[in-house]
Amino acid sequence: MKDISMLSPFVNPKSIEIPDEFHSFETKKPFTNCVVCEKNLIEIGIHYFVEKSVKKYPNSSAFDIIFEYAICLECALEMRETLSKDSMEKIDSFFDEKVNLLSRWKSLTRDGKYDINDWVSNCLITNKPVKDLNEYQIYAHCESDRMLFSLMPYVVSGEVIDHVSGLLSQKTKDELDGFMGKYLGPPPSIREILKDKTPVFIF
């Protein structure tokens, strides 16, 4: 058992088996490959991120997964490098202004429980309960077959994603649209609700 005093969000973070929320909706199992380079993510020492976009329907238990993917750390960093510097600075500044992720981590880990529900029940920025959101995106940081309690996991509401999208330059929007088209081509049944929705690399 890890000594809690030795844990941090950056070095030796606590980990658990990847929760169902971050499994592939299609396979009902953890993601196994990077969406970009197709690297095997289950190999020891491979760090990667999972992002899923969820749309719920009012007065119904029905929902759609608009897109989902896992991307290795190396490809995520390379993707960020292709986006405009101005856009990424605006995204980073927005989140730095709205939330202190390190303080959040300290608060959520203070009792040593590491309850996943405490991390993903509310929007990171607005604090609105997920149960009241019609659209949201969830993010996790994983290593092999484990989810890490680093500065993630967290949830960002559709409202916040729309605001962040408005900060992006046309170049960045084009790059993200290209990423979507190449790697996350949606099935015809949800293309209409997907329009104007793109991944936002906030990790």
Confidence of residue 201 (pLDDT cuts 50, 70, 90): low
So where are the chain's domains? 4-194
The pLDDT of residue 166 is 87
Per-residue pLDDT of 34-77, as tens digits, reads 999 999 999 888 999 999 999 988 877 788 888 899 999 999 99
The pLDDT of residue 11 is 83
pLDDT at 199 exceeding the cut of 80 = no
The pLDDT of residue 10 is 83
Neighbour count for residue 141 (Cβ, 10 Å): 23
Task: Identify the sign of the CA torsion 86, 39, 124, 111.
Answer: negative
The pLDDT of residue 34 is 96
pLDDT at 19 exceeding the cut of 90 = yes
The pLDDT of residue 118 is 95
Which residues lie below 8 Å from residue 40, measured CB to CB, with a gap of 6+? Answer: 32, 33, 46
Q: Per the structure block, which two tokens stand in for 183?
A: 């790697």
pLDDT at 106 exceeding the cut of 70 = yes
pLDDT at 189 exceeding the cut of 50 = no
